[in-house]
Amino acid sequence: MPAKDIFHNAVKYALEKDGWLITEDPLYLDYGGVEMYIDLGAEKLIAAERDGNKIAVEIKSFISSSTISEFHTALGQFINYRTALSQKEPERQLYLAVPAITYETFFKLELVKIVIQLQNMKLLIYDPELEVIEQWIS
Amino acid sequence: MPAKDIFHNAVKYALEKDGWLITEDPLYLDYGGVEMYIDLGAEKLIAAERDGNKIAVEIKSFISSSTISEFHTALGQFINYRTALSQKEPERQLYLAVPAITYETFFKLELVKIVIQLQNMKLLIYDPELEVIEQWIS
């Protein structure tokens, strides 16, 4: 199984353990002339629901050799996805799923903290091995 | 010469024709624990100055097979670079350089227009063949 799918499935199982119902996997998102699901290189989105709350989750592994490159792309995708969601399905909240090890290191850097705050990014911190959610940050 | 360098040089010459002095090429940008110039895959930034105005330019070719993928990355880089600049050198304005053909097509899509507006992105539209700046959009 490609590494990307391992992380994707880890988040999916973690959400299920946490009581979420996976409603779309992958979530196909298109809006305003852009079919974002045709971006095959990108990680796929998951849609989930619990107690009437609807979320979409962009899953990142951060296993590439350049964490900053991966962060550039994750951030751009997040903003494009969130913008599309806000127009199509404004009640659905977008989360970026980040492995705990990456959150404890790269995400503690000053620049990354400022960007997360300025852009109001919601994070879901997960343990890819135990397949559990460690923290929700809104 | 790699295609990326052709676009990089086209913008550089276009700026010079427009009366700008290139002060750093590439502009090395690091802030808050992140050395963004080590992201070798990314296009390099140029710093320029004219009549006391200082700019940094992120140059995009949009020649890859997936324009949306390239836009995700361009957007993420732009926000990270702008955030770093705002802390280090707040008077320097960041522009995203976009080829005219891409601006007339992909950048007219509704999603892209909304994102550009919401994120207050400044654009510099250039003709890569004639090596001239067609439009500044702030």
Q: Which of A72, A75, A92, A80 is nearest to A30 (CA)?
A: A80
pLDDT above 90 coverage of chain B, percent: 76
Q: Is the pTM of this model over 0.90?
A: yes
Instruction: Evaluate whether A72 touches B42 at the Cβ level (below 8 Å).
Output: yes
pLDDT digits (tens, 9 = 90+) for A36-78: 665 556 678 999 999 999 999 999 999 988 899 899 999 999 9
Q: What is the ipTM of this complex?
A: 0.93
CA distance A46 to chain B (A): 18
Contact list in B for residue A76 (CB cut-off 8 A) is 71-77, 79
Candidates B37, B44, B72: best to mutate against A (most CBs of A within 10 A) is B72
Instruction: With a cut of 90, say whether residue B105 has pLDDT above it.
Output: yes
CATH architecture of B3-137: 3-Layer(aba) Sandwich (3.40)
Q: Which of A31, A32, A25 is nearest to A55 (CA)?
A: A25
CATH number for A3-61+68-100+107-137 (one of 2.70.150.10, 1.25.40.80, 3.40.1350.10, 3.40.630.10): it is 3.40.1350.10
CA distance B78 to chain A (A): 8
pLDDT digits (tens, 9 = 90+) for A10-28: 999 999 999 999 999 989 8
A47 contact partners, CB below 8 Å, separation of at least 6: A22, A23, A24, A25, A27, A54, A55, A56, A57, A92
Is B33 in Cβ contact with A110 (below 8 Å)? yes
pLDDT digits (tens, 9 = 90+) for A85-110: 999 999 999 999 999 999 999 999 99
